[in-house]
């Protein structure tokens, strides 16, 4: 227990120092010997602190000649893996999960439409508005990429990080349960409508369109994965490593705030 408490204290100190130093994704932490000297810690609590950071997805531990801890982006993708077991043990039902997702996504859409940084909004959203209609199945990463873009376009990393967590929990639920691609026509139509409202700065229309999209797809998602709304939510089981829709490079900026900077 003493080692765990020491590791937790080290974790807080290290995160504080990383933020103050302005380190960002891709930066390496000092060597283990230097960290032990700096924090006056033994090797065991230091290793535990680094493992906690790795479990949270905030660092990757590299073995071999260039061994060390490398910072990862602070993303909703990683945070969702920590939130999902809490939802499961809190007795949340599948219906409650989907309702929460449908309630939070419209907030991000409205925030993106209202964001005064129109250059950022255009950069994130324009491609989705320009995408031609198609009935082709939606690729595994398409939906989560769209919702990621809306969250970034909202311009508030705190809002994007916290609210986008549920999108990743829902995505994990879907792709852990089926390999079937969602029907393309309705999804692409909804995304196009939402994107146009965001680009036009129409916050209420963006909110309405996103709410209709989320509520309209919720029951279809549960039907395809074989769960009822009143069933208790179970933490999706999936093989170790990245899920299907995560098999792509993560954006280096993620949802990290300015203190985390960009890769050096």
Q: What is the pLDDT of residue 238?
A: 55
Q: What is the pLDDT of residue 245?
A: 55
Domain 2-71 architecture = Orthogonal Bundle (1.10)
Q: What is the pLDDT of residue 66?
A: 76
Torsion of CA 29, 59, 100, 190, to 10 degrees: 100
Q: What is the pLDDT of residue 192?
A: 94
Q: What is the pLDDT of residue 250?
A: 37
Q: What is the pLDDT of residue 97?
A: 97
The predicted model scores a pTM of 0.81
Around 87, how many Cα atoms within 13 Å sit in the side-chain half-sphere?
Answer: 27
Residue ranges of the domains in the chain? 2-71, 76-255
How far apart (Å, rounded) are the C-alpha atoms in residues 163 and 151?
A: 8
Give me the average pLDDT of each 10-residue run along the chain (264 residues): 80 94 93 92 92 90 83 89 93 97 96 98 96 80 89 95 92 78 82 97 98 91 90 75 47 33 29
CATH fourth-level superfamily of 76-255: GntR ligand-binding domain-like (1.20.120.530)
Give 116: exposed, middle or buried? Use CB within 10 Å, 0-12, 13-18, 19+. exposed
Q: What is the pLDDT of residue 244?
A: 53
């Amino acid at each position: 227990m003493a080692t765990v408490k020491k590791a937790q204290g080290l974790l807080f100190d290290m995160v504080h120092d990383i933020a103050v130093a302005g380190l960002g994704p891709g930066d390496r932490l000092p060597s283990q010997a230097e960290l032990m000297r700096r924090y006056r810690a033994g090797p065991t609590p230091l290793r535990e602190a680094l493992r906690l950071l790795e479990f949270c997805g905030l660092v990757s531990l590299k073995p071999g000649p260039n061994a060390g801890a490398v910072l990862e982006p602070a993303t909703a993708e990683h945070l969702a893996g920590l939130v999902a077991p809490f939802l499961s043990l809190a007795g949340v039902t599948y219906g409650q999960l989907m309702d929460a997702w449908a309630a939070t996504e419209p907030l991000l859409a409205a925030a993106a439409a209202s964001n005064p940084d129109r250059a950022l909004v255009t950069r994130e959203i324009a491609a989705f508005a320009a995408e031609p209609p198609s009935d082709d199945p939606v690729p595994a990463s398409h939906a989560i990429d769209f919702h990621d873009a809306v969250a970034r376009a909202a311009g508030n990393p705190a809002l994007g990080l916290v609210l986008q967590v549920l999108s990743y929990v829902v995505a994990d639920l879907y792709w852990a349960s089926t390999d079937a691609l969602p029907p393309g026509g309705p999804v692409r139509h909804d995304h196009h409508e939402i994107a146009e409202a965001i680009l036009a700065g129409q916050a209420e229309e963006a909110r309405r369109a996103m709410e209709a999209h989320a509520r309209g797809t919720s029951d279809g998602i549960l039907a395809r994965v074989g769960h009822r709304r009143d069933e208790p939510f179970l933490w999706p089981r999936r093989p170790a490593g990245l899920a299907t829709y995560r098999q792509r490079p993560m954006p280096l900026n993620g949802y990290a705030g300015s203190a985390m900077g960009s890769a050096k």
